[in-house]
Amino acid sequence: MWNATGGWSDGSDGFLMAPGARIVGRAGDSYKMSISIPTEEHGFLGRQCPRCRQSYRVEADAHQGLPDDAELWCVYCGHHDDPNEFLTQQQLDRAVRAVEDLGVQLIGQELDRAFGGIASRRPRHRSGFGIQITYRSKPFYPEPLPGIDEEKLIRVRTCADCSLRYAVFGEHRFCPACGQLPPMIVALDALAAETARLDLLKQLPAQTAAHAREQGVFTRLWVDTLENLVGVVEALGSAVFRGTVADADQRLRGKNNIFQRLVDLADLFVDAGYPDLRDRVDAQQWQRLIKFWATRHVFTHNDGLVDDKFLAKVPASTARVGQRLTITEELCRQAIADTEALCRALVGLTKP
């Protein structure tokens, strides 16, 4: 149920419940309650992972339409369990309030029985062994249930496999309904995040940007971009190869970090009977990618200082051994664009 409205509801056994809560059944001393959970303005229902405690949103109608035996996935860590385990703290507070309201009335009902009913509101006295007890029954009127006011939506996604619409607040790897996202979707998300980070740098106030640039913050972030691009291709290449090559484990034995090396990556697929990756991207793009990967390598392993290995991979470079390479925003944006083309070509290798 979503967004119940109205006044107090007269539930089972005459209990008064706040709008959005009602008693729908009873078995002995056990009561079954229905408690509405309001959605946000776009019709999305908040969810919170019981394992990592991070929050996301699921379109309420789709969530309500899930099969009875369906599990819900955390979009961030991949934990999956009964959908009822994914209540947010505010939703739980709302449910607890409704249960407390019922509890107060149950206790009052038992006290009324113990002290002779509630037909009269006059104080009743019971005494024994010199002890006098005074009890006065009074009606209970529940306060409105706590509302739901959680973080606003920014990023809404639609799963390519099951079409579920959901919203996330950070990097994620899973669909709430069908689990692991396709490797290409993960790669494109990661590339979009790199572009967004570069865009954020351009939005810094001038004085802040100047101070950050002077401290080397920009350069380090640009180096991180190249490092992350290599990681994107490594993860995608591994997922595609392991997902399509029957004897992948045997072919990869002893070839550590092979998915980080572009030439070896291309040769790996060729040896497994697939087209040459180098033929699936523009020749100039391939040469730029080789340079980007080599640049990342010297920054990761040699503080950006040119060595003989770099010059062997990038013979057209005008840099000399011992000089430090420079990185720019423009170089990073070009690297992102070329990496996306490489990722698309990589996935296309295994398609008929």
Q: Indicate the domain borders of the chain.
A: 9-135, 182-348
Beta carbons within 10 angstroms of residue 100's beta carbon: 11
How many CA atoms lie within 13 Å of 166's alpha carbon, on the beta-carbon side?
Answer: 31
Give the pLDDT of the chain (352 residues) as one tens digit per residue: 333 333 444 455 678 999 999 898 888 888 888 999 999 999 999 999 999 999 999 999 998 888 888 999 999 999 999 999 999 999 999 999 999 999 998 888 888 887 764 444 455 555 555 566 666 777 888 999 999 988 888 889 999 899 999 999 999 999 999 999 999 999 999 999 999 999 999 999 999 999 999 999 999 999 999 999 999 999 999 999 999 999 999 999 999 999 999 999 999 999 999 999 999 999 999 999 999 999 999 999 999 999 999 999 999 999 999 999 999 999 999 999 999 999 999 999 998 7
Residue with tokens 């057209």: 316
Q: Comparing C-alpha atoms, which of 79, 61, 82 is closest to residue 71?
A: 82
Dihedral of CA atoms 316, 322, 326, 331 in degrees, nearest 10, equals 30
- Of residues 319, 277, 276, 284, the one with CA closest to residue 298: 319
Q: For strand 165-168 and strand 55-59, is the pairing parallel, antiparallel, or unpaired?
A: antiparallel
35, amino acid identity? I
Q: Helices 283-302 & 217-244, crossing angle to 10 degrees? A: 120
Side-chain-side CA neighbours of residue 70 (13 Å): 15
Token pair of 70 as six digits:
């369906």
The torsion angle over the Cα atoms of residues 20, 23, 25 and 31, rounded to 10 degrees, is: 120
Report field, pTM of the whole predicted structure over 0.85: no
Report the alpha-carbon distance of residue 56 to residue 178 in Å, rounded.
Answer: 15
Which residues 6+ apart lie within 8 Å of 96 measured at CB? none
d(CA 109, CA 139): 10
Q: Considering only CA atoms, which of 69, 72, 103, 107 is closest in space to residue 88?
A: 72
Cα gap 76→49, rounded to integer Å: 9
Sequential DSSP letters for 114-139: HTT-SS--S-EEEEETTEEEEE----
In the block, residue with structure tokens 């996202």 = 181
Buried b (16+ CB within 10 A) or exposed e, 278-308: bebbeeebbebbebbbbbbbbbeeeebebee
CA 332 to chain centre: 26
